[in-house]
Amino acid sequence: MKPIVLVSLFVLGTLGAQTFVSPATHGHSEGGAQNSFPFGTTIVPFRYLQIHDDVPAMTISGLAFRHNATNTVYPAHSVTLDAWVSTAAFPSVLANATFDLNHGGDKIQVVTNRTYNLPASDPHRLPGEFVLDFPFDVPFVYAGGSLCWEVQVTAKTQAANIFYDAMTGGGTSPALATSRGLAGCRSTGRTLTMTVNPTGPTDWTTGTGSLNIAGSQLQANGAVFHVLGFDTAFWTAVGVPLPAMIPTSDTAPSGTCTIYLDVLYVAPFTASATGTVSIQLPVPVNVGLVGLTAFSQIIGLDAAANPFGMTASQMAMHNWVGPFPAPSCSRVSSSGSLGPTGGINVGVNTLITKFY
């Protein structure tokens, strides 16, 4: 094969593999808003369109989204739809309430009456992975400008709203994004499991922040530890995959106690007489940390809870979010109708979208 042919194939393959997340500022950090439109709402039919100004020229073979981070486990669901893509006729700030007027002359139908089976959410990811995947039947070659995609949803299976990660407004000093998930076990004297409530105030002018956790349902006046790590796949220090059950806990009064993270940091605390604790860990905030996620738990020393003498809370998550402008995208939506017009929102609750 001639060298020039090999180079051409390499370039085409590289272009075909390109991906881009819009708005780009939230490619690795939680969006801070949520939106059930158009895929997650129970309402059908549903017509929906988004315009993005920041997508580079690329061949687009599909769209993908992620669940809004929450301790709620959203169930698997299916969605049936048609979809179109074009170079937008206007930038996002000029979105038109008439759906068709937003499309440029290169509009093509990329999905025809296709049903997508979408997975349940994973409550230990912040932000979530782009697992809500909608591959196209035919690709769209986008040359740049502003991009317009539209879906007309005609059937769904979910019984309640499922929220996708979204973006709204802008932030000059955003707090750490927080969530919690998975299950804790019971401390001695408690009927409910150990819980955590994370917050993450920041001050970007001084480069400082605080990783905060309020723990509850702990053993009264018990010795507890705040443990923190950055991996939920493998606990390096003890050489075991995660999650890891605390031995003997599954058949004990505590119920199953689980370590969810690679423990790299440990700090001791004493729970209050009501079984609560307030933890504040100073952390830096700077652009180099944007997208980083820290995982935390509260571990209790509790001899009566199980033979191993240790309990564990659910898991808290803190995700560094950098300063960001209002998103350069807009949406037009029509709830319960495939009619020609809908309501317009510019830079408000627009879905964080991965193009590939």
Q: Which residue has the higher pLDDT, 1 or 75?
A: 75
Name the amino acid, one letter, at 173: S
Mean pLDDT of all residues in 175-204: 97
Give yes or no for residue 258 having a pLDDT over 70.
Answer: yes
Do residue 281 and residue 348 come from a single domain?
no
**In the chain, pLDDT over 70 holds for what percent of residues?**
95
Is residue 12, in this structure, part of any structural domain at all?
no
* DSSP H or E segment with residue 152: strand 147-156
For residues 47 and 339, give the distance between their C-alpha atoms in angstroms, rounded to a whole number: 8
Tens of pLDDT, residues 267-287: 999 999 999 999 999 999 999
Do residue 348 and residue 279 come from a single domain?
no
CATH number at residue 302: 2.60.40
Do residue 194 and residue 213 come from a single domain?
yes
Is residue 1, in this structure, part of any structural domain at all?
no
- Looking at every residue in the chain, the average pLDDT score rounds to 94
Mean pLDDT of all residues in 308-325: 97
Give yes or no for residue 233 having a pLDDT over 50.
Answer: yes
Give the pLDDT score at 326. Answer: 87
Give yes or no for residue 15 having a pLDDT over 50.
Answer: no
Q: Which residue has the higher pLDDT, 48 or 71?
A: 48
Do residue 39 and residue 108 come from a single domain?
yes
Helix/strand/coil (H/E/C) assignment for every residue in 210-254: EEEEEEECCCCCCEEEEEEECCCCEECCCCEECCEECCCHHHCCC
Is residue 11, in this structure, part of any structural domain at all?
no
Domain tally, the chain: 2
DSSP 25-90: GGSSS--EEEE-TTTTSS-SSEEEEEEES-PPSEEEEEEEE-BPP-SS-PPPEEEEEEEEEEEBSS
Is residue 306, in this structure, part of any structural domain at all?
yes
Give yes or no for residue 3 having a pLDDT over 60.
Answer: no
For residues 262 and 268, give the distance between their C-alpha atoms in angstroms, rounded to a whole number: 17
Do residue 210 and residue 194 come from a single domain?
yes
Is residue 239, in this structure, part of any structural domain at all?
yes
Do residue 44 and residue 150 come from a single domain?
yes
Do residue 24 and residue 87 come from a single domain?
yes
Do residue 90 and residue 194 come from a single domain?
no
Give yes or no for residue 320 having a pLDDT over 60.
Answer: yes
For residues 312 and 226, give the distance between their C-alpha atoms in angstroms, rounded to a whole number: 10
User: 164 is in which domain, residue-wise?
Assistant: 18-170+325-355
Positive or negative torsion for Cα 231, 321, 37, 115:
negative
Give the pLDDT score at 33. Answer: 94
Is residue 63, in this structure, part of any structural domain at all?
yes
Token match 């008439």: residue?
98
**Is residue 257 a contact partner of residue 307, using CB atoms and an 8 Å limit?**
no
Do residue 351 and residue 217 come from a single domain?
no
Do residue 164 and residue 272 come from a single domain?
no
Do residue 344 and residue 291 come from a single domain?
no
Mean pLDDT of all residues in 233-248: 96
Give the pLDDT score at 161. Answer: 97
Tens of pLDDT, residues 299-309: 999 999 999 99
Is residue 6, in this structure, part of any structural domain at all?
no
CATH number at residue 144: 2.60.120
Give yes or no for residue 168 having a pLDDT over 90.
Answer: no
Is residue 46, in this structure, part of any structural domain at all?
yes
16: pLDDT confidence band, cut at 50, 70 and 90? very low
152: pLDDT confidence band, cut at 50, 70 and 90? very high
Q: Where are the alpha helices (DSSP H) in 126-243?
A: none
17: pLDDT confidence band, cut at 50, 70 and 90? low
Do residue 304 and residue 189 come from a single domain?
yes
Worst-scoring range by mean pLDDT, 70-74, 115-119, 350-354?
70-74
DSSP 300-343: EE-TTTSTT-EEE--EEEEE----BPPPSEEEEEEET---SB-E
Give the pLDDT score at 71. Answer: 86
Give the pLDDT score at 9. Answer: 34
Give the pLDDT score at 327. Answer: 86
